[in-house]
Amino acid sequence: MAVEALWNDQVIAHSDETVIVEGNHYFPRADVDTSVLEKSATTSECPWKGTAYYYTIDLDGERNQDAAWYYPDPKPAAEQIRDRIAFWHGVEIVEA
């Protein structure tokens, strides 16, 4: 099943190879339009996944602060999300 991430009615990710962890779709980096992502200084800690780093979406002059996150070096229990990006903060995840 293909899944898309939409923000402001534009597709920013499309994949049939997402991994679902805690209800979030993690998209392979190759299936994300990284041209709309800007690295953020924000991080957060998860006891079993590790340190999450964030991106701000910058699309057509609109910004969505810290709306995407990833784990560059996940803990062993979360290895399946390495090199994957997830979304929230108003980014709609839909079946394509």
pLDDT bracket for residue 81 (50, 70, 90): very high
Query: Sign of the CA dihedral 64, 35, 94, 78?
Result: negative
Range of the domain at 54: 3-95
Beta strands in 22-78 (DSSP E): 24-28, 37-46, 50-59, 62-70
- At 27-50, the pLDDT tens digits run 999 999 999 999 999 999 999 999
**What's the predicted TM-score (pTM) here?**
0.96
- At 51-64, the pLDDT tens digits run 999 999 999 999 99
Tell me how many domains the chain contains: 1
Query: What is the rounded CA–CA span in Å between residue 45 and residue 57?
Result: 21
Query: What is the rounded CA–CA span in Å between residue 72 and residue 61?
Result: 27
Query: What is the rounded CA–CA span in Å between residue 63 and residue 38?
Result: 10
Terminal-residue alpha carbon distance, the chain: 8
Residue 1: the pLDDT is 87
Average pLDDT over residues 10-38: 98
CATH code, domain with 24:
2.170.150.40
